[in-house]
Structure 1
């Protein structure tokens, strides 16, 4: 008898915040609920932030999905706050992979906050 061990797919988990205007909450929640890789966990009291988690196969998939979400007209920004890379970290440490951190950059949300650009 031959036993085949199936290796579980490598996964990346990200705890993230989606920044929105309060009047867009219901529309954005519907959009986010349409992605099997996203789970909604909470909404801020002022309805400007939605706490979600992403679960993707690798950092490229996370980047692609983040880009799709960020490009939605009702979403101001997506901020990844907690990351768990599982096997991705091993590949990076062994030199087999170089992480691409392009999604961690300034965004439309920062453009909307005039206090951040004011000099003190």
Structure 2
């Protein structure tokens, strides 16, 4: 089932490299507009994109608020980002609902040179 948005966390990646990748993957994106610590742009199909540097420590958040992307879910988005950018990526293993409880909210998947691995990431 396609997620209504896709979200990943990137380590050691810069905004320009991410912009270049998004332009190649989604078509030309609008220039980034900064509001406080958050940067926003729109993809060629109008999907809002958010880049939040250092959202969790040294991890940058990348969110596309649309189901109209080449990626069905966060994991597909994370795999594509890792392949294109060569940095460690973290994502939720699937959609999470508040009813699922706090423990499930801490379940994540990391993708790096060693492959994919589920782990507990306590971000709060």
Same fold (TM over 0.5): no
Larger radius of gyration: 1
Q: Higher helix fraction: Structure 1 or Structure 2?
A: 1
Q: TM-score, normalised by structure 1?
A: 0.41
Greater RCO structure (CA 8 Å; 6+ sep): 1
Q: TM-score, normalised by structure 2?
A: 0.40
